[in-house]
Amino acid sequence: MATATLQRKKIYEKVFVEIPRSDIDFFQLFAKKMGWTLENKNDLLDKYIASRPKNVDLTDEEIMEEVRAVRYAK
């Protein structure tokens, strides 16, 4: 007799929590035991910077035109 197991797709949600520095070690241990990923703002910023394109075919003038268009758009 064959049995089938139903695997549920885990749905994750990002949550930003502000906790005292004195509690960070406990929180990291708790997150590890729960199988969660814990990142700080610098980790997120580093990931974002690493994922950006290295060679962009735009001149400084084109970039400034775009900045002005967004900044001064009414």
Query: For position 12, what pLDDT does the model report?
Result: 83
Q: For residue 44, what pLDDT is reported?
A: 87
Is 0.85 topped by the overall pTM?
no
- Among 63, 12, 74, which Cα is nearest to 38's? 12
CA angle centred on 48, ends 38 and 46, rounded to 5°? 60
pLDDT digits (tens, 9 = 90+) for 20-72: 999 999 999 999 999 998 888 898 899 999 998 888 888 999 999 999 999 98
- pLDDT recorded at residue 58: 87
Does residue 10 surpass a pLDDT of 90? Answer: no
